[in-house]
Amino acid sequence: MNYRYSILYGLFGALLLASCVKSLEDRPLELITEDYLWDSKDSAGTNASYFLNNIYSNLPTGFNRIGGNVLDAATDDAVASEDGSTISTFTNGGYNALTGADNVWSKNYAAIRMSNMFLQNFYKVHLKQSLRLEGQYWKAEARALRAIFYYELVKRYGGVPIIGDKVLTLDDDLKLPRNTFDECVSYIASECDAVKDSLRPDPATVGDYGRITQAVALTLKAKVLLLAASPLNNPSNDINRWIRAKNAAADVIRLNVFSLEPSFANVFTSRSNSEVILAYQRSTSTDLENNNAPVGYISGSTTSQGRTSPTQELVDAFPTIKGLPITTDIKSPVNPTGYDASNPYANRDPRLSLTVFYNGMNWLSRPVETFDGGRDRPGGSAIQTKTGYYMRKFLGDFANNTAYSAQNHNFIIFRYADVLLSFAEAKNEVDGPVSVSDSIYTYLKAIRKRAGINAGDDEMYGLGSTLLSKADMRNLIRNERRIEMAFEEQRFWDLRRWKIAENVYNKPLHGIRITKTGPLLDYRVETLNIPFQFIAPRMYRYAIPYSEIIKNPNLTQNPGYE
């Protein structure tokens, strides 16, 4: 599926034009009928395959998608560099049913309808014998895609109307009530179970990158069951929900197909690797570099807009190279590799420099300058970092280049590290770690080893040889998710499903202020003058768009948005 989505609409248009050309004599070119789309004589399934590809185009795309900002700019991990950005409605208390910065209601229901159209009509296409298995895959993909679209709705809005297999028309009763959250979860999980054995096996071949496979269905089931087990949706802490989530993640692991990509950076810049389970396929580009790299890099066609400003809170979440918190692993004469506030980025978890641009990093053959008056923090009215940092993750390796060149920038929807962390989280909630050789420790050590953290004499990668309590392990797993999955549209949802957003948001955020005097740098943490508000309990769910509420009197609004 390389480059599929970037040219999708052109292909679909070509399909429609080609369909019309068959009967130029008897109908207008602009008239497209179902007979053309689901042509029984199209033995190669060309028309149907293009229609299915168009459904794929509705998958999450990530990357600067909300007013030019990443979703993590609405968490404690980052802020938008530009004032008055759309994303700020999530953090300044301005979010409501009329100002949905991330309104995907219509998009996902349109995609669900397209999936149903495919499933309702595909039987009309008589594929040649050699493509019958491919046709089986396509039908299963359409069902799995539909389940993904429901998941995108449920994690935002809670329970939503389940349409089933019907293609609704204006003649139908469109005043559908909401299904409960639990009914939606059961529907998504059951759809995953129903199609998993009919999907193409893993790993996907080169021509099928980005397609739904068996592992995608299993991972989607694990994700939705983890959502259902989490405190927001499991207030009584039903242990059976955690068991189901743990077992679902274990099913992905037991495939024994995926593994952690040896290079953390390579996970995000290669079109295919051992860790990616599903990614939205994009053409090669420099858009991420142009949007997010520090603002001082302008040379010929190379421009950088620095849209995302990571917070000091995120930077401080990264441990030292020994895997220990910076609050406990302090540099001293007997501990020369500990954290040093006067040189704060030395001897840190290597993921830090692959996630955040900080002062002194090399980029386009010069050091990043985020000290006051530096080329990447010049002051004045120009848009620039608010925190002393810029987002580095997902960008190509341009440390020693002089200009950007097109890179693979697929948006990863599911990856194996997330599955391991989900399993560890669910298992910890079931019975906690039973020993330091427990699988919870095994998977955390694997993630830290790949990151480049030192093993230590005990080979525990900073996790310690003393068995952690369930509560301490919970905090450790949550922090590991934060730094491993930073900017991947995980933190926003994690804060909500853990039901801790009201505690995290309603505190001031911080950045770093660096003063340069000759060769000397003085680092001072400063409080950001940026509203950071979360109104509980209503903001744990999105508001259903007002335009939908007024059309359907049976569609009840989420509490607090009435």
The mean of the pLDDT values for the chain is: 92
Residue 421's pLDDT is what? 98
Q: Which of 443, 430, 87, 436 is nearest to 259 (CA)?
A: 443
* 423-436 mean pLDDT: 96
**pLDDT > 70 fraction of the chain, expressed in percent and rounded:** 94
Residue 162's pLDDT is what? 98
Q: Which comes out higher in pLDDT, residue 296 or 9?
A: 296
* 145-157 mean pLDDT: 98
| Long-range pairs of 239-248 with CB within 8 A, sequence gap ≥ 24 | 239/429, 239/430, 242/426, 242/429, 242/430, 243/426, 243/430, 245/422, 245/426, 246/423, 246/426, 246/427, 246/430, 248/189, 248/218, 248/221, 248/222
Neighbours of 149 (CB within 10 A): 24
Separation CA 197–CA 20 (nearest Å): 37
Spatial CB neighbours of 25, under 8 Å, sequence gap ≥ 6: none
**Pure H helices in 393-545:** 416-431, 439-451, 470-484, 491-497, 501-505
Quick one: tokens of 469?
């309590």
Q: What's the alpha-carbon Rg for the chain, to the nearest Å? A: 25
| DSSP secondary structure string for all residues of 528-547 | -----B--TTGGGSPPPPHH
Separation CA 71–CA 90 (nearest Å): 10
Separation CA 31–CA 15 (nearest Å): 13
205-250 pLDDT tens trace: 988 999 999 999 999 999 999 999 999 999 999 999 999 999 999 9
Single-letter residue type at 367: P
Contact by Cβ (8 Å): 117, 38: no
* 46-70 mean pLDDT: 94
CA angle 136, 3, 264 (to 5 degrees): 100
Spatial CB neighbours of 549, under 8 Å, sequence gap ≥ 6: 97, 555, 557
Helix (H, G, I), strand (E, B) or coil at 398: coil
Q: Is the pLDDT of residue 448 over 50?
A: yes
* 32-59 mean pLDDT: 89
Phi, psi of 150 (to 5 degrees): -65, -40
Instruction: Give whole-number Cα distances, 382 to 74, 318, 503, 514, in Å.
Output: 22, 30, 33, 18
Single-letter residue type at 144: A
* 429-449 mean pLDDT: 96
Q: Is the pLDDT of residue 18 over 60?
A: no
Q: Model pTM?
A: 0.93
Q: How confident is the model at residue 32 (pLDDT cuts 50, 70, 90)?
A: low
Residue 174's pLDDT is what? 86
Quick one: tokens of 388?
């002393």
52, HSE (Cβ side, Cα atoms, 13 Å): 27
Residue 303's pLDDT is what? 84
Phi, psi of 373 (to 5 degrees): 85, -5
Phi, psi of 12 (to 5 degrees): -65, -40
Name beta bridge partners: 362.
367
Burial class (CB in 10 A: 0-12, 13-18, 19+), 207: exposed
Neighbours of 180 (CB within 10 A): 12
Q: Is the pLDDT of residue 482 over 80?
A: yes
Spatial CB neighbours of 356, under 8 Å, sequence gap ≥ 6: 310, 314, 315, 389, 390, 391, 392, 393
Separation CA 412–CA 359 (nearest Å): 28
Quick one: tokens of 263?
């290079």
Q: Which comes out higher in pLDDT, residue 20 or 168?
A: 168
Q: How confident is the model at residue 366 (pLDDT cuts 50, 70, 90)?
A: very high
Residue 62's pLDDT is what? 87
Phi, psi of 80 (to 5 degrees): -70, 135
Neighbours of 259 (CB within 10 A): 12
403-426 pLDDT tens trace: 999 999 999 999 999 999 999 999
Q: Where are the beta strands (DSSP E) in 312-454?
A: 356-357, 362-363, 366-367, 390-391, 411-415
Residue 4's pLDDT is what? 43
Q: How confident is the model at residue 299 (pLDDT cuts 50, 70, 90)?
A: low
Residue 562's pLDDT is what? 83
Q: Which comes out higher in pLDDT, residue 95 or 412?
A: 412
**pLDDT > 90 fraction of the chain, expressed in percent and rounded:** 87
Question: For 81-85, 321-325, 477-481, 489-493, which range has the lowest pLDDT when averaged over its residues?
Answer: 81-85
| DSSP secondary structure string for all residues of 105-136 | HHHHHHHHHHHHHHHHHGGGS---GGGHHHHH
Residue 83's pLDDT is what? 94
Residue 35's pLDDT is what? 80
Residue 168's pLDDT is what? 86
Phi, psi of 130 (to 5 degrees): -70, -15
* 97-110 mean pLDDT: 90
105-124 pLDDT tens trace: 999 999 999 999 999 999 99
Contact by Cβ (8 Å): 452, 320: no
Contact by Cβ (8 Å): 87, 74: yes
Residue position matching structure tokens 């995926």: 258
Q: How confident is the model at residue 428 (pLDDT cuts 50, 70, 90)?
A: very high
Cα torsion 294, 295, 296, 299: sign = positive
Separation CA 121–CA 123 (nearest Å): 5
347-362 pLDDT tens trace: 999 999 999 999 999 9
